A and B are shown apart, each in its own frame.
Chain A
Amino acid sequence: EDQVTQSPEALRLQEGESSSLNCSYTVSGLRGLFWYRQDPGKGPEFLFTLYSAGEEKEKERLKATLTKKESFLHITAPKPEDSATYLCAVQAVNNNDMRFGAGTRLTVKP
């Protein structure tokens, strides 16, 4: 069964303090790995898709990387507005459903 595990569950950073979020996965053939951001009271919003090991994607202060077993979401010099829950999801080649991890709740203090 496809599994997605995210760590840490919660992360508190000072503004400007860079860090990384982890997403470990097991899937029977990876079609894609996805990162979403969720703000309180809202649905998740798409950030990145990664398809193969070694791939990297960047957007502002965020960079996502992928290996055969895990993905990292690197946050460089975060700002308070980066505070949110970051969700990782995987999609397998043999079906179209999308399985999510439990998320990492990020708080960036000014």
Chain B
Amino acid sequence: GAGVSQSPSNKVTEKGKDVELRCDPISGHTALYWYRQSLGQGLEFLIYFQGNSAPDKSGLPSDRFSAERTGGSVSTLTIQRTQQEDSAVYLCASSLSPGVVGANVLTFGAGSRLTVL
């Protein structure tokens, strides 16, 4: 697609429920990133994919968070047993393969706003 697409744009859920957030990167972009942005805060790194593999999972806040990427394209971020502190905007970004000129420029989606009641 022309840009990075994220869905849903808004999600309200009850504490304890599971949620799935989807990211559809730019076609041809092999690198994919997930970040979390709490109200008025900067971007907190969650996980990075190169192709389907995740060499760096160090940012995932707890074992309730998991992410996968299939076919080197769409990625899903899953949060199990949601807590109120999980409320934030979850941003996805993609970029070209490392080593390609301009590879380190991230193109972001508009984000998925998660509210846990």
Which A residue sits closest to B48, measured CB to CB? A97
Report yes or no: B110 in contact with A43, Cβ–Cβ below 8 A: yes
What total count of A-B pairs have CB within 8 Å?
A: 60
Most B CB contacts (10 A, CB to CB) among A42, A44, A89 go to A44
Contact in complex: B104, A49 (CB < 8 Å):
yes
A103 at the interface (CB under 8 A from B): yes
Q: Is the interface of B mostly helix, strand, loop or mixed?
A: strand
> Once bound together, how far apart are the Cα atoms of A91 and B93, in whole Å?
15
B77 on the interface (CB 8 Å rule)? Answer: no
Question: Do the beta carbons of B42 and A87 come within 8 Å of each other?
Answer: yes
Whether B45 and A103, one on each chain, are in contact in the complex, defined by CB atoms closer than 8 angstroms, is: no
B109 adjacent to chain A (CB < 8 Å): yes
Q: How far is the CB of B91 from chain A (nearest CB, A)?
A: 6
- CA–CA, A100 and B34, complex, Å: 12
Interface size class of B (residues with CB under 8 A): 20 to 34
For the residues of A in contact with B, the DSSP-based class is: strand
CB-defined contacts of A100 to chain B, threshold 8 Å:
35, 42-43, 45
Chosen A-B contacts, 8 in total, with CB atoms closer than 8 Å, are: A42-B110, A43-B91, A44-B91, A44-B108, A96-B50, A97-B45, A97-B59, A100-B45
Further pairs besides A49-B104, A49-B105, A101-B42: 7, Cβ < 8 Å: A32-B104, A96-B55, A97-B33, A97-B59, A98-B48, A100-B45, A103-B42
